[in-house]
Homo-oligomer: A and B are copies of this chain.
Amino acid sequence: MGVVVPLEESKRFATASIEPLVRLTREPMERVNELILARAGSNVELIPEIARHLIDSGGKRLRPMLTIAGAGMCGYEGDGRVKLAVSVEFMHTATLLHDDVVDESDLRRGKAAARMLWGNQASVLVGDFLLGQAFKMMVEVGSLEALEILSNAAAIIAEGEVMQLGAAKNTATTEDEYLAVIQAKTAALFSAAAEVGPVLAGRGRAERAAFRSYGTNLGLAFQLVDDALDYGGTSANLGKRVGDDFREGKITLPVVLSYRRGSDADRIFWKKVLEDGEIGDGDLEHAIQLMRTHRAIDDTVERARHFGAVARDALAPFPDSPHKAALLEAVDFCIARVS
């Protein structure tokens, strides 16, 4: 039996789009893109080359958009939001560079990972360079509160990577342990990206907490939906590229649920492919089949819906505005990607 979604909610998901958020943030996001190119520049030749490889590889720039929209919704339109948005994107890019080295990934968003073209050392160091540039820009903005939020996020992200290293390849990871990892690895930066908006606008504790909560829960929902998509999502057709997480032996929520709900034979399979890395022909298809049998993908999306609902309620107290509507629709859009 599939996930039962109330009619009203399912209509909301069916029409959800990221376009309103893109439209509302277009002008400052153009400045964000210019500043990204400017600040990824360096006389050291390798740096702009590697940075652009990643920057041009077509992410949605969701994190900097959160900063821009959060500031806009709170009535701040100064330059600070552009610099902090770029800081957030650089922190994200640095994480990707370092992640690929740690995970020994060959590909990133379907293209060769930077480390495959320029090597591990260069990837680590250019990541450090981008982190350094991110901190320089935060300091230029001059908000100690924003600095505190973003530097705190940087520490948590690094902590999350180490935590994941510890939990790596452990198929017996609990859902709570997995949530703690993505809370640190993904949600902390979403949270910081969202919170610095009201901070720049000089808003008080309650508004900051609301944006922090919005970002955190959007980040959790976003990551869980990504996890589900990597196994083809809830639809039966597997048109898009699936199985990257599987091939890298990543333990994500669909695996956690399938492992826990499975038979002894299932668990031997999961250990073989993910802990021992012995992946043979048909193993990905078998993994997806097990996930369907145990409703693991459906329930991963169901968990994402829970966090999406919390994110929506976080912003609920703010007066209606185009920014608020766009940020709420972005939550539904993140979840609708999978439906």
A interface, CB within 8 angstroms of B: 1, 3-8, 170, 172, 174-177, 206, 209-210, 212-213, 216-217, 256-257, 259-261, 267, 299, 302-303, 306, 309-310, 313-314, 316-317
Contacts and interface: CB of A to CB of B under 8 A. Distances in A.
A309 to B, nearest CB: 7
A212 B172 CA distance: 13
Contact of A209 (B174, B303, B313): B174
B261 A316 contact: yes
Given A176-B217, A261-B316, A299-B309, 10 more contacts: A1-B6, A1-B8, A4-B5, A175-B213, A175-B310, A175-B314, A256-B313, A259-B317, A260-B313, A303-B306
A4 B217 CA distance: 22
A299 B313 CA distance: 11
Contacts of A8: 1
Given A172-B206, A213-B174, A313 B257 contact: yes
30 contacts: A1-B6, A1-B7, A1-B8, A3-B6, A4-B6, A172-B206, A172-B210, A174-B209, A174-B210, A174-B314, A175-B213, A175-B310, A175-B313, A176-B209, A176-B212, A176-B213, A176-B216, A176-B217, A177-B209, A177-B213, A256-B313, A257-B313, A260-B313, A260-B317, A261-B313, A261-B316, A267-B317, A299-B309, A303-B306, A303-B310
A212 B260 CA distance: 15
Contacts of A175: 213, 310, 313-314
A107 to B, nearest CB: 31
B316 A260 contact: yes
Closest 8 CB pairs of A and B: A172-B206, A260-B316, A306-B306, A176-B213, A174-B213, A4-B6, A174-B209, A260-B317
A127 B217 CA distance: 37
